[in-house]
Amino acid sequence: MPQILDGNSVRDQIKAECRPRVERVRAHAGRVPGLSVVLVGNNPASEVYVRSKTKTAAELGMHSETITPDASISTEALLELIRELNARPEVDGILVQLPLPAHIDSQKILLAVAPEKDVDGFHPCNVGLLSTGRPGLRPCTPAGVIQILKRYQIPIAGKNAVVLGRSDIVGKPMAMLLLQENATVTICHSKTRDLPGVCRAADILVAAIGKPAMVTADYIRPGAVVVDVGINKVDSRAEAERIFDPSRLPDFDRRGSLLVGDVHPGDMARVSSAYTPVPGGVGPLTIAMLMSNTIDSAERRTGLS
């Protein structure tokens, strides 16, 4: 039987480690780490995600605030808001929730966040620090993947790692983090020739392609470790029948949809030696790493590190 890499338990470990760090900042600086989330307009999915972030911050004794400009805000007005947050000493982390409304220049907004407060790790300064192996704020999801591998004592050094997906948010930083752990790394994408064959060479396969259950058994070397970063909603019954065990179909009929990753769940469980489930694998780690990043920023900004 393969080992299930439970993201919820790793999340709880990281949160437990965060609490004394929060108290250490409080004792040293007379305040707790502070996170400001900017949520523009009314995107239901974003609102749910932001509520989870603020709830987790409160559980850890951190300060958090959600700033909710109207969807009609201009790029310049939003830039001015970011400048104000950059200048506030009690704000250690600034997170601009994506996607932004179409009329706003998202690149300009993300570049305006001070690199030392960029707890998403997206600013080019932080990307440069990552690529050159210097300390800095790391993108939360790839950093969470490294945590789950390390805490389950899965060897990375010397292993062949394949990252399926080349996004700036997951694929590219994931490859750099694995390289820093001394893996031999290949990045694949939609133009890769013989994609299943390249993926089958992996001891560690990280799927972040954004296509439901695209990665099937012929992509997975028997005994490989599979990390499924994808989270996709399946709302077609024919697609649900292709992907899920028949025992899951009553759930689909009741809810009208089911979540699946980028890897076929049955094939992943059958072929791999260890894998992250969806949901409950990588997903819970993203918010935990966001909190850790905010505390990292507070520690640096208050002279604790």
Residue 235 and residue 284 in contact, taking contact as beta carbons nearer than 8 Å: no
For the cut 90, the answer to whether the pLDDT of residue 260 exceeds it is yes
Question: What does the pLDDT read at residue 206?
Answer: 98
Please count the other Cβ atoms lying within 10 Å of the Cβ belonging to residue 157: 8
Provide the whole-model pTM.
Answer: 0.94
Question: What does the pLDDT read at residue 305?
Answer: 83
Residue 35 and residue 63 in contact, taking contact as beta carbons nearer than 8 Å: yes
For the cut 90, the answer to whether the pLDDT of residue 237 exceeds it is yes
Question: What does the pLDDT read at residue 45?
Answer: 79
Same fold, 30-115 and 140-284: yes
Phi first, then psi, for residue 304 (nearest 5°) are -85, -15
Tell me, yes or no, if 97 is annotated catalytic: yes
**Per-residue confidence at 13, pLDDT binned at 50, 70, 90?**
very high
Return the domain boundaries, the chain: 30-115, 140-284
Return mean pLDDT, the chain.
96
Assigned CATH topology for domain 30-115? Rossmann fold (3.40.50)
Tell me, yes or no, if 12 is annotated catalytic: no
The CATH H-level (homologous superfamily) assignment of domain 140-284 is NAD(P)-binding Rossmann-like Domain (3.40.50.720)
Residues 6+ apart with CB under 8 A from 105: 75
Residue bearing tokens 């009929």: 253
For the cut 90, the answer to whether the pLDDT of residue 166 exceeds it is yes
Question: What does the pLDDT read at residue 48?
Answer: 86
Which residue intervals of 122-228 are DSSP H helices?
Answer: 124-131, 140-151, 171-180, 195-200
pLDDT digits (tens, 9 = 90+) for 47-62: 888 899 999 999 999 9
For the cut 90, the answer to whether the pLDDT of residue 46 exceeds it is no
**Per-residue confidence at 23, pLDDT binned at 50, 70, 90?**
very high
Bridge partners (DSSP) listed for residue 36: 65, 94
Question: What does the pLDDT read at residue 44?
Answer: 82
Residue among 92, 97, 159, 203 flagged as catalytic:
97
Phi first, then psi, for residue 77 (nearest 5°) are -65, -40
**Per-residue confidence at 215, pLDDT binned at 50, 70, 90?**
very high
**DSSP H/E element including 34:** strand 34-38
Residue among 92, 117, 118, 120 flagged as catalytic:
120
Residue 19 and residue 291 in contact, taking contact as beta carbons nearer than 8 Å: no
Average pLDDT over residues 208-221: 96
